[in-house]
Amino acid sequence: MPLTFLSVLVLTLLVLIFSAIRILREYERGVVFLLGRFYRVKGPGFIIIIPFIQQMERVDLRTIVMDVPTQDVISRDNVSVKVNAVVYFRVLDPEKAIIQVEHFYDAISQLAQTTLRSVLGQHELDEMLAERDKLNVDIQTLLDAQTDAWGIKVANVEIKHVDLDESMIRAIAKQAEAERSRRAKVIHAEGELQASEKLLLAAQVLAKQPQALQLRYMQTLTEIAGDKSSTIVFPLPMDMLNTLKEVLKK
């Protein structure tokens, strides 16, 4: 009987000793409570917790990557889209992360969802598609400001997908086609304007030099004569005849 009692006592002591030992990795910290009150933050490495008197909560200090579930968002121009994102954050103050908020991971997830809908709902669809970097910064700033009291730093937010329904995709395609057609017409009109300006300038130069106009006329006749498939009848300008008369007189 005494031997059995001694065995039980030794076994109990061993259990208490092993339950008091904690080993925390380099990226982990232990928030220790003494009789329910905050005591201190311990770690990393080998630490001892007094059983039944002290309790410990592990906190991971590495950057956590959290997917934000797909959210239904109505833009400012009343377009319904589905948007999802990813949030990068890390715990800076383990004490606040445990004491100030319950289950900080779930809290940040819910906060990211509501912030995503709130920020994107203030912008039009074109801004969601073209100014994604700016929207990422706006969402990250709002999240970081609200999680600062929890000892958590939101490092980055990235919008991954903005999904549209088929009717909206067709409407955007038609809009893009109309925009391309408009640009083509504008470019063509600008080309016609530049060509008319050059023609006007050339006409003014030729008007100042009659000989140049006659040379241009002869050049045109030479180009037409190169085509032997047809017979060409052309008038002889009186200016050219007068020039020839003056040459003959000289």
- 196 and 122 inside one domain: no
Residue numbers of the domain that contains 178: 173-203
Bridge partners (DSSP) listed for residue 59: 29
- 70 and 151 inside one domain: yes
- 56 and 127 inside one domain: no
pLDDT, the chain, mean = 83
- 221 and 250 inside one domain: yes
Judged by DSSP in three states, 36 sits in coil
Per the model's pLDDT, the better-predicted residue between 17 and 248 turns out to be 17
- 87 and 155 inside one domain: yes
pLDDT score recorded for residue 172: 67
Report the number of distinct structural domains present in the chain: 4
Task: Kindly report, residue by residue over 133-184, the tens digit of the pLDDT.
Answer: 999 999 999 999 999 999 999 999 999 988 887 766 666 667 777 777 888 8
Q: Are 57 and 101 in contact (CB under 8 A)?
A: no
- 145 and 75 inside one domain: yes
Which stretch, 6-20, 121-135, 169-183, has highest mean pLDDT? 121-135
CATH number at residue 126: 3.30.479.30
pLDDT score recorded for residue 232: 58
Per the model's pLDDT, the better-predicted residue between 76 and 212 turns out to be 76
- 54 and 70 inside one domain: no
- 76 and 90 inside one domain: yes
Q: Are 39 and 49 in contact (CB under 8 A)?
A: no
- 191 and 128 inside one domain: no
**Residue 96, token pair as written in the block:** 């606040």
Angle between helices 210-225 and 166-208 (to 10 degrees): 120
pLDDT score recorded for residue 188: 86
- 187 and 221 inside one domain: no
Give the amino acid at 160. K
